[in-house]
Amino acid sequence: MKNIAVIGAGTMGNGIAHTFAQSGFKVNLIDISEASLEKGMATISKNLDRMVAKEKISEADKSETLGNIETFTDSGSGVQNVDLVVEAATENVDLKLKIFKQLDDICGEDTILATNTSSISITQIAAATSRPEKVIGMHFMNPVPIMKLVEIIRGYNTSDEVTKTIMDLSKTLGKIPTEVNDYPGFVANRILMPMINESIETLYNGVAGVEEIDTVMKLGMAHPMGPLQLADFIGLDVCLSILNVMYDGFKNPKYAPCPLLVNMVQAGKLGVKSGEGFYDYSESRKAEKVSKQFVK
């Protein structure tokens, strides 16, 4: 397995492409937007520069990594003759089902189709294809080049052979793959998102402010990043989407998104990506806490 296609050049997609390319794989990075591809490649180059500055890799390693990546705006061309496709598009079930149906039609019959979904059923995604035994979840953590964990989620029909192949492949990337079962949110987000949601509820109910909540969790629980800052880093829209998937899947009110989270997403305050979430990330006010306009 040497030829990989990654669909989506956003935060997760470019990180996945970077990781495979740095490990010597030939990567086709695919996105419908040329601007997104340019931004994704610029991010990869910038991250490699950081590694060079820290003397973790050489300039030659950087050049080789970038040389291993080719960009495409046409998925039909980008997925030809690849051994594995890793889908890293927006966390939207309808979009993912559409992508996997298209991949099933144009990819070779031996190609394994993986999704980086953080919450959506692998079994449901696999059902959109004629090869459910070759569909698997490969949930990387952000930032992908640094984080060691990969959640490997097998759908109802995922074969033992495909599961072993992806587990072994993850190890060649220097990752630690962990197999989990196919339930909404899997393990990482089933535990993480209720904690983030409860932190937002705590803010919403006026128990404490943004910095105070994050400080308690960082100093009291030894978390490297407070839950509200982490939510900003993940993207509040992504957090909302994951909570909705879990709420729809389990019908349990404990997964219902906090109204404050819903309001902030509707207002376009998505965290780092939009320049403001629970903190302000504009150039003049980097990481300052935001106003309490949405709080009770």
- Name the active-site residue from 189, 199, 241, 244: 189
What does DSSP say about strands 84-87 and 26-30: parallel, antiparallel, or unpaired?
Answer: unpaired
Q: Is 118 annotated as a binding residue?
A: yes
Q: Is 59 helix (H, G, I), strand (E, B) or coil?
A: helix
Q: Is 13 annotated as a binding residue?
A: yes
What does DSSP say about strands 279-280 and 288-289: parallel, antiparallel, or unpaired?
Answer: antiparallel
Q: At which residue do the structure tokens 């080789």 appear?
A: 64
- Name the active-site residue from 14, 119, 133, 151: 151
Cβ-contact 9, 29 below 8 angstroms: yes
Q: At which residue do the structure tokens 């070759």 appear?
A: 134
Q: Is 29 helix (H, G, I), strand (E, B) or coil?
A: strand
The answer to whether residue 121 is catalytic is: no
Q: Is 11 annotated as a binding residue?
A: yes
The answer to whether residue 151 is catalytic is: yes
Q: Is 20 helix (H, G, I), strand (E, B) or coil?
A: helix
Using only the alpha carbons of the chain, give its radius of gyration.
19
197 by Cβ neighbours in 10 Å (0-12 / 13-18 / 19+) ranks as buried
Q: Is 273 annotated as a binding residue?
A: yes
Cβ-contact 185, 193 below 8 angstroms: yes
Q: Is 9 annotated as a binding residue?
A: yes
In eight-state DSSP terms, residue 56 is: S
Q: Is 96 annotated as a binding residue?
A: yes
- Name the active-site residue from 36, 68, 87, 139: 139
- Name the active-site residue from 118, 121, 170, 197: 118
The answer to whether residue 18 is catalytic is: no
First-last CA distance in the chain? 54
The answer to whether residue 263 is catalytic is: no
Residue 252 to residue 232: CA distance in whole angstroms: 25
Q: Is 128 annotated as a binding residue?
A: no
Cβ-contact 203, 189 below 8 angstroms: no
164 by Cβ neighbours in 10 Å (0-12 / 13-18 / 19+) ranks as exposed
Q: Is 64 annotated as a binding residue?
A: no
Residues of the binding site for NAD(+): 8-13, 31, 91, 96, 118, 142, 273
The residues assigned a catalytic role are 118, 139, 151, 189
Binding-site positions read: 8-13, 31, 91, 96, 118, 142, 273
